[in-house]
Amino acid sequence: MLNNGSLEHTFLRLWASRFDVYAEQQSNGSYLKVEESLTAEVIKRHLRQEITVGFYQLDKNNMVKWLCWDLDPEKLDDPLLTAKTIINECISQPNPKTPRFHKKALLLEASRYPDPSYHVWVFFEPLPVPAKVARWLGLKILEHANVNPKLVEVFPKQTKLTKDRPYGNLVKTPLGLHKVAHKWSHFLNLENLKPLSANCVFSVQGVSFSEADLAGIYRFEDTKHVQSRFELPRNYKSLEKEEEEWIARWLTMRWIPGHRNQLELSFLGLCIKQGVAFDSAYRVIDRVCYITNDEEKLQRIQLVKYHYEQRRNLGSQLKGVSGIRELLRSLRTKLRKSYSNLRMKNREERVKQTESLTLQWKLAQSFSMMTPNTVMPA
């Protein structure tokens, strides 16, 4: 049995920044602002699935209690892999002994379980932090994890409230019913990804910052996408033979005329950023050209040499994972369009065939109704 009283107040303590307003999700997925007190009774109704509540994140002083990454399958090829990457960057980097955040400061939520839609939460306790600090941290984690910030929503979305936007953005409160998908939210175990009891919120221990930490972060310029100075790896290492073969096979399946150049450029950029040695990159491209019988093999090999000799100094400007994702999305869109066109073509052919058969049937009917004298007059 859940200790509902404690659970409701724990939700308010961890998530609620404003107690004078909240939002309710409607049947079409939109949210309606409710300018009434946010109380434990409201949370109780949310947990009973009588209503679905959304919390406005910023308080009136532009402070927040949490940071959230919103990962949706509509934008990401593999939201769960992205969630794992972000979590690893939070609790295992720069090394497991001194991670950026303690594991107890995080929660992983499947917002439309079992659909691949996730929220990764980081909590700040005992005091909230400036929204500017939370957003900087959120974008910085994405940068270190090599995740494209255009594909992941980071909350807070804004660093301060304005006259035009006196409430800011909201996020659906966990453990509620998604009114459109008609699916529940669940917290997941970080290790085995199994649903957890709602009681897991009692174990949350938020992150705290010293005044010096906050001041240091606060000085950074407030930009839409924060980028730090990119440093190339100092040591480049060759891949194992099995790794090279696996990568070559993966690239081969996507080595399509008209897209090969972009795929090679993105792959080489990823190799340089990840510290893959020239000889490994060379062997992989050589192997791909051999398997696909690429008529432009010489140019492909020259591009490997040119990349490592002339383009390494581009650093963060090199396309890597983001370039590969863009290409895969483009290929998927074209495939869907081709499939749709094929279906339409087949449909048109079926309609024509049906019309032809109908005409033949009508002609047959008309002939069957004729007398011999009508068909062949004397």
The whole-number pLDDT of residue 349 equals: 67
User: Which of 281, 274, 331, 332 is CA-nearest to residue 305?
Assistant: 281
pLDDT profile of the chain (378 residues), mean per 10: 67 95 94 95 94 96 96 90 94 84 95 94 93 93 89 94 93 94 93 94 90 69 47 79 91 86 86 88 94 90 86 69 73 66 64 58 46 35
Q: Residue 308 and residue 318: Cα distance in Å, rounded?
A: 11
pLDDT in tens, 210-245: 777 777 776 664 444 444 455 666 788 899 999 999
Question: What residues contact 51, with CB distance under 8 A and at least 6 apart?
Answer: 24, 25, 42, 45
**pTM score, two decimals?**
0.60
**Strand-pair partners of 120:** 69, 108
User: Which of 106, 99, 275, 259 is CA-nearest to residue 190?
Assistant: 106
- Cβ burial of 65 (10 Å; 0-12, 13-18, 19+) is buried
> Which residues in the chain are classed under CATH 3.90.920.20?
4-218
φ, ψ (nearest 5 deg) of residue 333: -65, -45
Q: Residue 13 and residue 8: Cα distance in Å, rounded?
A: 9
Structure tokens at 288: 């791909």
The whole-number pLDDT of residue 128 equals: 92
The whole-number pLDDT of residue 344 equals: 66
Q: Which CATH class is domain 4-218?
A: alpha beta
The whole-number pLDDT of residue 160 equals: 93
Q: Residue 89 and residue 102: Cα distance in Å, rounded?
A: 11
Question: Max alpha carbon distance in the chain (Å)?
Answer: 113
